[in-house]
Amino acid sequence: MSSFVDAAQLHARAGDGGAGCVSFRREAHVARGGPDGGDGGHGGDVWLVADVNQSSLLAFRDHPFRRAGDGRHGSSKRQHGAAGGDVEVAVPVGTVVHDATGEVLVDLDVAGSRWRAAAGGQGGWGNARFLSNRRRAPDFAEQGERGEERWYDLELKLRADVAIVGFPNVGKSTLIAAVSAARPKIADYPFTTLVPNLGVVRVGDRASHRADATEFVMADIPGLVEGAASGRGLGREFLRHVEHARVLCLLLDLSESAPLSAPAQYQVLLRELTDYLPELTERPRIVVGSKGDLAAGPEPTVELTVAAVTRQGIDRLLARLAEMVTTARREAAAASPAPVLHRPAAESAVSVRREAAGWVLEGRAAERAVRFNDLTGSGALEESVRRLRALGVDRLLSRAGARDGDVVRVGPVSFEWFRDAAGTGIDVEEPHRATQRERRARRERREDDDDA
Protein backbone atom coordinates (compact mmCIF):
# COMPACT_ATOMS: atom_id res chain seq x y z
CA MET A 1 0.00 0.00 0.00
CA SER A 2 1.10 3.57 -0.65
CA SER A 3 2.53 5.84 1.97
CA PHE A 4 1.77 9.54 1.96
CA VAL A 5 4.58 11.84 0.81
CA ASP A 6 4.02 15.61 0.68
CA ALA A 7 7.61 16.81 0.14
CA ALA A 8 10.20 15.58 -2.33
CA GLN A 9 12.92 16.68 -4.72
CA LEU A 10 12.99 16.68 -8.50
CA HIS A 11 16.04 16.59 -10.75
CA ALA A 12 14.95 17.75 -14.21
CA ARG A 13 17.38 17.10 -17.06
CA ALA A 14 16.34 18.33 -20.49
CA GLY A 15 17.64 16.71 -23.66
CA ASP A 16 20.75 17.90 -25.49
CA GLY A 17 20.45 19.29 -28.97
CA GLY A 18 21.83 17.28 -31.86
CA ALA A 19 24.96 18.40 -33.74
CA GLY A 20 24.82 19.95 -37.18
CA CYS A 21 26.43 18.08 -40.05
CA VAL A 22 29.37 19.12 -42.26
CA SER A 23 28.71 17.68 -45.69
CA PHE A 24 29.05 18.59 -49.38
CA ARG A 25 27.12 17.26 -52.33
CA ARG A 26 28.82 14.32 -53.96
CA GLU A 27 26.92 13.31 -57.08
CA ALA A 28 27.74 12.15 -60.55
CA HIS A 29 28.55 14.99 -62.95
CA VAL A 30 28.75 17.45 -60.03
CA ALA A 31 32.39 18.31 -59.63
CA ARG A 32 32.06 20.66 -56.68
CA GLY A 33 28.73 20.34 -54.94
CA GLY A 34 27.71 22.92 -52.39
CA PRO A 35 27.27 22.38 -48.64
CA ASP A 36 24.31 20.20 -47.73
CA GLY A 37 24.77 19.40 -44.04
CA GLY A 38 21.50 19.24 -42.11
CA ASP A 39 20.65 20.72 -38.69
CA GLY A 40 20.55 18.80 -35.44
CA GLY A 41 17.23 18.30 -33.68
CA HIS A 42 16.27 20.20 -30.54
CA GLY A 43 16.44 18.43 -27.19
CA GLY A 44 13.24 17.56 -25.39
CA ASP A 45 11.79 19.63 -22.51
CA VAL A 46 10.78 18.44 -19.04
CA TRP A 47 7.27 19.59 -18.12
CA LEU A 48 5.39 19.35 -14.84
CA VAL A 49 1.66 18.72 -15.33
CA ALA A 50 -0.92 19.00 -12.55
CA ASP A 51 -2.86 15.72 -12.65
CA VAL A 52 -6.02 15.06 -10.63
CA ASN A 53 -5.20 11.34 -10.59
CA GLN A 54 -2.05 11.91 -8.52
CA SER A 55 -2.48 12.28 -4.79
CA SER A 56 1.05 12.32 -3.35
CA LEU A 57 4.71 12.81 -4.27
CA LEU A 58 5.52 9.18 -3.56
CA ALA A 59 6.89 8.65 -7.09
CA PHE A 60 9.73 11.13 -6.42
CA ARG A 61 10.84 9.84 -3.02
CA ASP A 62 13.17 7.11 -4.30
CA HIS A 63 13.54 8.24 -7.91
CA PRO A 64 13.67 12.04 -8.31
CA PHE A 65 15.33 12.00 -11.74
CA ARG A 66 13.38 12.85 -14.91
CA ARG A 67 15.22 13.02 -18.24
CA ALA A 68 13.97 14.13 -21.64
CA GLY A 69 15.22 12.76 -24.96
CA ASP A 70 18.22 14.10 -26.88
CA GLY A 71 17.92 15.53 -30.37
CA ARG A 72 19.38 13.50 -33.23
CA HIS A 73 22.32 14.72 -35.27
CA GLY A 74 21.87 16.20 -38.73
CA SER A 75 23.09 14.33 -41.78
CA SER A 76 23.95 14.90 -45.43
CA LYS A 77 21.47 15.96 -48.11
CA ARG A 78 20.10 18.61 -45.70
CA GLN A 79 18.42 15.98 -43.57
CA HIS A 80 17.64 17.46 -40.18
CA GLY A 81 17.84 15.38 -37.02
CA ALA A 82 14.66 14.46 -35.16
CA ALA A 83 13.79 16.41 -32.04
CA GLY A 84 14.09 14.72 -28.67
CA GLY A 85 10.90 13.65 -26.97
CA ASP A 86 9.44 15.82 -24.20
CA VAL A 87 8.79 14.31 -20.79
CA GLU A 88 5.57 15.17 -18.95
CA VAL A 89 5.89 14.57 -15.22
CA ALA A 90 2.52 14.16 -13.50
CA VAL A 91 2.27 15.82 -10.09
CA PRO A 92 -0.74 16.24 -7.79
CA VAL A 93 -2.87 19.37 -8.12
CA GLY A 94 -1.62 21.77 -5.44
CA THR A 95 2.09 21.04 -5.97
CA VAL A 96 4.33 24.04 -5.22
CA VAL A 97 7.77 24.19 -6.84
CA HIS A 98 10.67 25.86 -5.01
CA ASP A 99 14.22 26.55 -6.17
CA ALA A 100 17.33 25.83 -4.08
CA THR A 101 16.93 29.11 -2.19
CA GLY A 102 13.35 28.31 -1.20
CA GLU A 103 11.77 30.82 -3.56
CA VAL A 104 8.39 29.76 -4.95
CA LEU A 105 8.61 29.38 -8.72
CA VAL A 106 5.11 28.14 -9.50
CA ASP A 107 1.99 26.81 -7.78
CA LEU A 108 0.25 24.17 -9.89
CA ASP A 109 -3.13 24.64 -8.26
CA VAL A 110 -5.30 24.12 -11.37
CA ALA A 111 -5.80 20.72 -12.97
CA GLY A 112 -3.99 20.55 -16.30
CA SER A 113 -1.57 23.41 -15.54
CA ARG A 114 1.82 22.90 -17.20
CA TRP A 115 5.21 24.33 -16.28
CA ARG A 116 8.51 23.81 -18.05
CA ALA A 117 11.05 22.69 -15.47
CA ALA A 118 13.96 22.33 -17.90
CA ALA A 119 14.32 23.58 -21.48
CA GLY A 120 15.93 21.37 -24.09
CA GLY A 121 19.06 22.45 -25.89
CA GLN A 122 18.86 23.90 -29.38
CA GLY A 123 20.05 21.77 -32.25
CA GLY A 124 23.20 22.90 -34.06
CA TRP A 125 23.11 24.31 -37.56
CA GLY A 126 24.60 22.29 -40.40
CA ASN A 127 27.15 23.86 -42.73
CA ALA A 128 24.42 24.53 -45.33
CA ARG A 129 23.13 27.27 -43.01
CA PHE A 130 26.38 29.25 -43.31
CA LEU A 131 26.43 29.51 -47.08
CA SER A 132 26.68 33.11 -48.32
CA ASN A 133 28.06 35.09 -51.24
CA ARG A 134 31.26 35.65 -49.27
CA ARG A 135 31.48 32.14 -47.83
CA ARG A 136 30.90 29.64 -50.64
CA ALA A 137 32.17 26.47 -48.95
CA PRO A 138 31.67 26.61 -45.18
CA ASP A 139 33.51 23.70 -43.62
CA PHE A 140 32.10 23.99 -40.12
CA ALA A 141 28.86 23.32 -38.25
CA GLU A 142 27.40 23.99 -34.83
CA GLN A 143 27.46 21.58 -31.95
CA GLY A 144 24.18 20.90 -30.18
CA GLU A 145 23.41 22.90 -27.05
CA ARG A 146 23.26 21.11 -23.72
CA GLY A 147 19.84 20.91 -22.13
CA GLU A 148 19.07 22.56 -18.80
CA GLU A 149 19.69 20.56 -15.64
CA ARG A 150 18.12 21.73 -12.39
CA TRP A 151 17.12 20.56 -8.92
CA TYR A 152 13.76 21.59 -7.44
CA ASP A 153 12.00 21.11 -4.12
CA LEU A 154 8.40 19.98 -4.43
CA GLU A 155 5.79 20.61 -1.74
CA LEU A 156 2.21 19.37 -1.80
CA LYS A 157 -0.64 21.41 -0.35
CA LEU A 158 -3.17 18.67 -0.10
CA ARG A 159 -6.96 18.61 -0.21
CA ALA A 160 -8.48 15.30 0.79
CA ASP A 161 -10.58 13.42 -1.74
CA VAL A 162 -12.63 11.53 0.85
CA ALA A 163 -13.49 12.74 4.37
CA ILE A 164 -14.70 10.17 6.90
CA VAL A 165 -17.32 11.80 9.12
CA GLY A 166 -18.88 10.15 12.16
CA PHE A 167 -19.43 10.14 15.88
CA PRO A 168 -16.49 9.63 18.26
CA ASN A 169 -15.26 6.04 18.58
CA VAL A 170 -17.26 4.92 15.55
CA GLY A 171 -14.22 3.26 13.88
CA LYS A 172 -12.93 5.99 11.55
CA SER A 173 -9.26 5.56 12.50
CA THR A 174 -9.55 1.77 12.28
CA LEU A 175 -10.98 2.09 8.77
CA ILE A 176 -8.28 4.43 7.46
CA ALA A 177 -5.58 2.22 8.99
CA ALA A 178 -7.07 -0.79 7.21
CA VAL A 179 -7.10 0.77 3.73
CA SER A 180 -3.93 2.89 3.77
CA ALA A 181 -0.50 3.15 5.35
CA ALA A 182 -1.74 5.72 7.88
CA ARG A 183 -1.19 4.68 11.47
CA PRO A 184 -3.47 6.84 13.64
CA LYS A 185 -3.88 6.36 17.37
CA ILE A 186 -6.65 3.82 17.98
CA ALA A 187 -8.29 3.31 21.37
CA ASP A 188 -11.71 2.40 22.80
CA TYR A 189 -12.52 5.83 24.23
CA PRO A 190 -14.07 8.93 22.57
CA PHE A 191 -12.01 11.68 20.92
CA THR A 192 -8.93 9.52 20.44
CA THR A 193 -8.34 11.49 17.23
CA LEU A 194 -7.76 15.19 17.83
CA VAL A 195 -6.28 16.12 14.44
CA PRO A 196 -7.15 14.78 10.96
CA ASN A 197 -5.18 11.75 9.79
CA LEU A 198 -4.42 11.45 6.10
CA GLY A 199 -3.92 8.21 4.21
CA VAL A 200 -3.26 7.50 0.53
CA VAL A 201 -5.48 4.73 -0.84
CA ARG A 202 -4.64 2.98 -4.11
CA VAL A 203 -7.33 0.94 -5.83
CA GLY A 204 -6.14 -1.29 -8.63
CA ASP A 205 -2.68 -2.75 -9.17
CA ARG A 206 -1.13 -1.55 -5.91
CA ALA A 207 2.04 -3.63 -6.10
CA SER A 208 3.27 -2.33 -9.46
CA HIS A 209 2.24 1.31 -8.91
CA ARG A 210 0.76 1.47 -12.39
CA ALA A 211 -0.37 4.87 -13.60
CA ASP A 212 -3.89 3.63 -14.40
CA ALA A 213 -4.57 2.63 -10.78
CA THR A 214 -6.89 5.03 -8.97
CA GLU A 215 -5.24 6.78 -6.06
CA PHE A 216 -7.00 9.10 -3.65
CA VAL A 217 -6.47 10.69 -0.25
CA MET A 218 -8.71 9.80 2.65
CA ALA A 219 -8.98 11.99 5.76
CA ASP A 220 -10.04 10.72 9.16
CA ILE A 221 -11.93 13.68 10.64
CA PRO A 222 -12.09 13.82 14.47
CA GLY A 223 -15.42 12.70 15.89
CA LEU A 224 -18.45 14.99 15.73
CA VAL A 225 -21.14 15.29 18.36
CA GLU A 226 -24.54 16.96 18.35
CA GLY A 227 -24.03 20.73 18.42
CA ALA A 228 -20.66 20.53 16.63
CA ALA A 229 -21.64 23.25 14.14
CA SER A 230 -22.20 25.59 17.11
CA GLY A 231 -18.75 24.84 18.49
CA ARG A 232 -19.47 22.01 20.89
CA GLY A 233 -16.56 19.58 21.27
CA LEU A 234 -14.26 21.67 19.02
CA GLY A 235 -16.76 20.86 16.31
CA ARG A 236 -16.12 23.89 14.10
CA GLU A 237 -12.37 23.21 14.05
CA PHE A 238 -13.10 19.64 13.00
CA LEU A 239 -15.71 20.57 10.42
CA ARG A 240 -13.43 22.97 8.55
CA HIS A 241 -11.42 19.99 7.36
CA VAL A 242 -14.50 18.72 5.53
CA GLU A 243 -15.02 21.82 3.40
CA HIS A 244 -12.74 20.87 0.50
CA ALA A 245 -13.32 17.11 0.45
CA ARG A 246 -14.69 15.83 -2.87
CA VAL A 247 -16.65 12.95 -1.32
CA LEU A 248 -18.11 12.51 2.18
CA CYS A 249 -18.16 9.10 3.81
CA LEU A 250 -20.69 9.12 6.67
CA LEU A 251 -19.72 6.32 9.01
CA LEU A 252 -22.41 4.98 11.35
CA ASP A 253 -21.83 2.66 14.30
CA LEU A 254 -23.97 -0.49 13.90
CA SER A 255 -22.92 -2.18 17.15
CA GLU A 256 -25.32 -2.60 20.06
CA SER A 257 -23.06 -0.37 22.21
CA ALA A 258 -23.61 2.67 19.96
CA PRO A 259 -25.00 5.70 21.83
CA LEU A 260 -27.66 6.29 19.14
CA SER A 261 -29.32 4.16 16.52
CA ALA A 262 -27.96 4.30 12.98
CA PRO A 263 -30.86 6.46 11.65
CA ALA A 264 -30.43 8.89 14.58
CA GLN A 265 -26.69 9.13 13.97
CA TYR A 266 -27.32 9.88 10.30
CA GLN A 267 -29.82 12.65 11.07
CA VAL A 268 -27.46 14.31 13.57
CA LEU A 269 -24.48 14.21 11.18
CA LEU A 270 -26.54 15.56 8.28
CA ARG A 271 -27.93 18.37 10.44
CA GLU A 272 -24.51 19.40 11.72
CA LEU A 273 -23.05 19.45 8.20
CA THR A 274 -25.99 21.55 6.99
CA ASP A 275 -25.72 24.01 9.87
CA TYR A 276 -21.99 24.45 9.32
CA LEU A 277 -22.05 24.78 5.53
CA PRO A 278 -25.26 24.18 3.56
CA GLU A 279 -23.26 23.36 0.43
CA LEU A 280 -22.05 20.16 2.08
CA THR A 281 -25.48 18.60 1.64
CA GLU A 282 -24.95 18.72 -2.13
CA ARG A 283 -21.52 17.06 -1.89
CA PRO A 284 -21.38 13.43 -3.13
CA ARG A 285 -21.65 11.15 -0.12
CA ILE A 286 -21.95 7.52 0.81
CA VAL A 287 -23.45 6.18 4.06
CA VAL A 288 -21.43 3.29 5.47
CA GLY A 289 -22.12 1.14 8.50
CA SER A 290 -19.10 0.23 10.61
CA LYS A 291 -18.51 -2.67 13.00
CA GLY A 292 -20.61 -4.89 10.76
CA ASP A 293 -19.35 -7.96 12.59
CA LEU A 294 -21.09 -6.68 15.75
CA ALA A 295 -24.33 -5.57 14.10
CA ALA A 296 -27.58 -7.06 15.34
CA GLY A 297 -29.04 -7.25 11.83
CA PRO A 298 -29.38 -5.44 8.48
CA GLU A 299 -29.69 -1.65 8.62
CA PRO A 300 -31.61 -0.02 5.72
CA THR A 301 -30.08 3.41 6.44
CA VAL A 302 -26.63 2.39 5.21
CA GLU A 303 -25.53 1.66 1.63
CA LEU A 304 -22.61 -0.57 2.55
CA THR A 305 -21.59 -2.41 5.69
CA VAL A 306 -17.94 -2.94 6.63
CA ALA A 307 -15.91 -4.47 9.43
CA ALA A 308 -12.42 -3.02 9.28
CA VAL A 309 -10.92 -5.61 11.63
CA THR A 310 -12.02 -8.57 9.48
CA ARG A 311 -11.93 -6.55 6.19
CA GLN A 312 -15.56 -7.41 5.54
CA GLY A 313 -16.89 -5.18 2.72
CA ILE A 314 -13.62 -3.19 2.45
CA ASP A 315 -12.97 -3.98 -1.22
CA ARG A 316 -16.53 -3.02 -2.21
CA LEU A 317 -16.22 0.25 -0.30
CA LEU A 318 -12.91 1.17 -1.93
CA ALA A 319 -14.23 0.41 -5.40
CA ARG A 320 -17.27 2.59 -4.77
CA LEU A 321 -15.19 5.44 -3.34
CA ALA A 322 -12.74 5.26 -6.28
CA GLU A 323 -15.66 5.56 -8.70
CA MET A 324 -17.12 8.55 -6.84
CA VAL A 325 -13.74 10.31 -6.58
CA THR A 326 -13.02 9.82 -10.28
CA THR A 327 -16.38 11.30 -11.21
CA ALA A 328 -15.94 14.25 -8.83
CA ARG A 329 -12.46 14.96 -10.20
CA ARG A 330 -13.74 14.92 -13.76
CA GLU A 331 -16.55 17.34 -12.95
CA ALA A 332 -14.18 19.64 -11.04
CA ALA A 333 -11.72 19.68 -13.94
CA ALA A 334 -14.50 20.59 -16.39
CA ALA A 335 -15.64 23.46 -14.16
CA SER A 336 -12.17 24.82 -13.41
CA PRO A 337 -10.57 27.69 -15.37
CA ALA A 338 -8.55 26.91 -18.46
CA PRO A 339 -5.06 25.64 -17.61
CA VAL A 340 -2.34 28.28 -17.66
CA LEU A 341 0.94 27.54 -19.41
CA HIS A 342 3.75 28.53 -17.06
CA ARG A 343 7.28 29.07 -18.28
CA PRO A 344 10.45 30.08 -16.47
CA ALA A 345 11.48 33.71 -16.83
CA ALA A 346 13.79 34.45 -19.74
CA GLU A 347 17.46 34.49 -18.85
CA SER A 348 19.61 37.56 -19.35
CA ALA A 349 21.62 37.47 -22.57
CA VAL A 350 25.25 37.85 -21.48
CA SER A 351 27.07 38.89 -18.31
CA VAL A 352 30.75 39.23 -17.39
CA ARG A 353 32.32 37.87 -14.23
CA ARG A 354 35.86 38.25 -12.97
CA GLU A 355 37.82 35.18 -11.87
CA ALA A 356 41.41 34.53 -10.87
CA ALA A 357 42.50 33.38 -14.33
CA GLY A 358 40.73 36.18 -16.21
CA TRP A 359 37.12 36.79 -17.24
CA VAL A 360 34.08 34.59 -17.73
CA LEU A 361 31.24 35.29 -20.14
CA GLU A 362 27.99 33.79 -18.81
CA GLY A 363 24.67 33.30 -20.52
CA ARG A 364 23.27 30.81 -22.98
CA ALA A 365 23.54 33.32 -25.84
CA ALA A 366 27.30 33.63 -25.35
CA GLU A 367 27.76 29.88 -25.14
CA ARG A 368 25.75 29.43 -28.33
CA ALA A 369 28.10 31.84 -30.11
CA VAL A 370 31.08 29.48 -29.75
CA ARG A 371 29.47 26.06 -30.00
CA PHE A 372 31.18 24.93 -33.19
CA ASN A 373 32.63 21.55 -33.96
CA ASP A 374 36.08 23.01 -34.70
CA LEU A 375 37.21 26.54 -33.81
CA THR A 376 40.70 26.14 -35.26
CA GLY A 377 39.42 26.87 -38.75
CA SER A 378 39.16 30.46 -39.88
CA GLY A 379 35.51 30.19 -40.91
CA ALA A 380 34.22 28.96 -37.57
CA LEU A 381 36.43 31.43 -35.70
CA GLU A 382 35.20 34.39 -37.72
CA GLU A 383 31.57 33.36 -37.18
CA SER A 384 32.13 33.09 -33.41
CA VAL A 385 33.73 36.53 -33.29
CA ARG A 386 30.89 38.01 -35.34
CA ARG A 387 28.31 36.58 -32.94
CA LEU A 388 30.15 37.75 -29.84
CA ARG A 389 30.47 41.26 -31.26
CA ALA A 390 26.76 41.28 -32.06
CA LEU A 391 26.06 40.43 -28.42
CA GLY A 392 28.09 43.46 -27.28
CA VAL A 393 30.80 41.40 -25.58
CA ASP A 394 33.54 43.93 -26.42
CA ARG A 395 31.67 46.73 -24.70
CA LEU A 396 30.92 44.57 -21.67
CA LEU A 397 34.56 43.55 -21.27
CA SER A 398 35.82 47.10 -21.71
CA ARG A 399 33.40 48.46 -19.11
CA ALA A 400 34.31 45.65 -16.72
CA GLY A 401 37.98 46.65 -16.93
CA ALA A 402 39.41 43.98 -19.22
CA ARG A 403 42.79 44.70 -20.81
CA ASP A 404 44.56 43.50 -23.93
CA GLY A 405 45.85 39.99 -23.43
CA ASP A 406 43.41 39.04 -20.65
CA VAL A 407 42.08 35.52 -20.87
CA VAL A 408 38.34 35.26 -21.47
CA ARG A 409 36.44 32.00 -21.04
CA VAL A 410 33.02 31.21 -22.45
CA GLY A 411 31.77 27.67 -22.05
CA PRO A 412 34.60 25.28 -22.96
CA VAL A 413 36.46 27.90 -25.03
CA SER A 414 39.19 30.25 -23.77
CA PHE A 415 40.89 33.01 -25.75
CA GLU A 416 43.01 36.12 -25.25
CA TRP A 417 41.06 39.30 -25.71
CA PHE A 418 42.50 42.31 -27.58
CA ARG A 419 41.00 45.51 -28.84
CA ASP A 420 41.05 45.75 -32.60
CA ALA A 421 42.56 48.58 -34.62
CA ALA A 422 39.42 50.67 -34.22
CA GLY A 423 39.89 50.71 -30.48
CA THR A 424 37.32 48.10 -29.54
CA GLY A 425 36.63 44.55 -30.52
CA ILE A 426 38.10 41.08 -30.52
CA ASP A 427 41.22 40.56 -32.60
CA VAL A 428 40.36 37.52 -34.69
CA GLU A 429 43.96 36.70 -35.51
CA GLU A 430 45.24 36.98 -31.97
CA PRO A 431 43.88 33.86 -30.27
CA HIS A 432 45.48 31.47 -32.74
CA ARG A 433 47.97 33.18 -35.07
CA ALA A 434 49.78 35.95 -33.27
CA THR A 435 53.51 35.31 -32.89
CA GLN A 436 55.37 35.47 -29.63
CA ARG A 437 57.03 38.71 -30.80
CA GLU A 438 53.69 40.38 -31.46
CA ARG A 439 52.31 39.32 -28.09
CA ARG A 440 55.39 40.54 -26.32
CA ALA A 441 55.16 43.91 -28.11
CA ARG A 442 51.56 44.32 -27.07
CA ARG A 443 52.38 43.57 -23.44
CA GLU A 444 55.25 46.05 -23.50
CA ARG A 445 53.01 48.78 -24.91
CA ARG A 446 50.47 48.10 -22.20
CA GLU A 447 53.15 48.35 -19.50
CA ASP A 448 54.39 51.63 -20.98
CA ASP A 449 50.84 52.99 -20.91
CA ASP A 450 50.52 52.00 -17.25
CA ASP A 451 53.80 53.75 -16.35
CA ALA A 452 52.72 56.87 -18.13
Would you list the DSSP string of 334-398? HHSPPPPEE-PPPPPS-EEEEETTEEEEESHHHHHHT-BS-SSSHHHHHHHHHHHHHTTHHHHHH
Cα 279 from Cα 356, distance rounded (Å): 67
Contacts of 159 (CB under 8 A, 6+ apart): 94, 217, 244, 245
Residue ranges, comma separated, of all CATH 3.40.50.300 domains in the chain are: 162-335
* DSSP per-residue codes, 142-176: BPPPPPPEEEEEEEE----SEEEEE-TTSSHHHHH
Nearest CA among 284, 323, 289 for reference residue 303: 289
Class level of CATH domain 1-158: mainly beta
Is the entire prediction scored with pTM above 0.85? no
Nearest CA among 54, 63, 50, 57 for reference residue 11: 63
Q: What fold, for 162-335?
A: Rossmann fold (3.40.50)
pLDDT for res 434: 41
Residues of the chain with pLDDT under 50: 1-2, 184-194, 206-211, 228-235, 345, 421-425, 427-438
**Phi, psi angle pair for 50, to nearest 5°:** -75, 120
pLDDT for res 224: 63
pLDDT for res 449: 58
pLDDT for res 212: 58
Cα 401–chain centre separation: 41
**Phi, psi angle pair for 247, to nearest 5°:** -135, 140
Residue ranges, comma separated, of all CATH 3.30.300.350 domains in the chain are: 351-451
Residue pair 38/128 in contact by the 8 Å Cβ criterion: yes
pLDDT for res 1: 39
pLDDT for res 185: 42
pLDDT for res 13: 96
Partners of 156 in the beta sheet? 95
Helix, strand, coil fractions of the chain, as percent rounded to 5:
25, 25, 50
> How would you class 448 by CB atoms within 10 Å of its CB: exposed for 0-12, middle for 13-18, buried for 19 or more?
exposed
pLDDT digits (tens, 9 = 90+) for 137-180: 898 999 999 999 999 999 887 677 898 888 888 888 888 888 87
Using alpha carbons only, give the angle 292, 246, 90 rounded to the nearest 5 degrees: 115
Q: Domain 351-451, what architecture?
A: 2-Layer Sandwich (3.30)
Partners of 202 in the beta sheet? 215
Cα 270 from Cα 315, distance rounded (Å): 26
Residue ranges, comma separated, of all CATH 2.70.210.12 domains in the chain are: 1-158
Residue pair 197/218 in contact by the 8 Å Cβ criterion: no
Q: Edge-to-edge, what's the strand order for the sheet holding 87-92? A: 87-92, 46-51, 114-118, 341-342
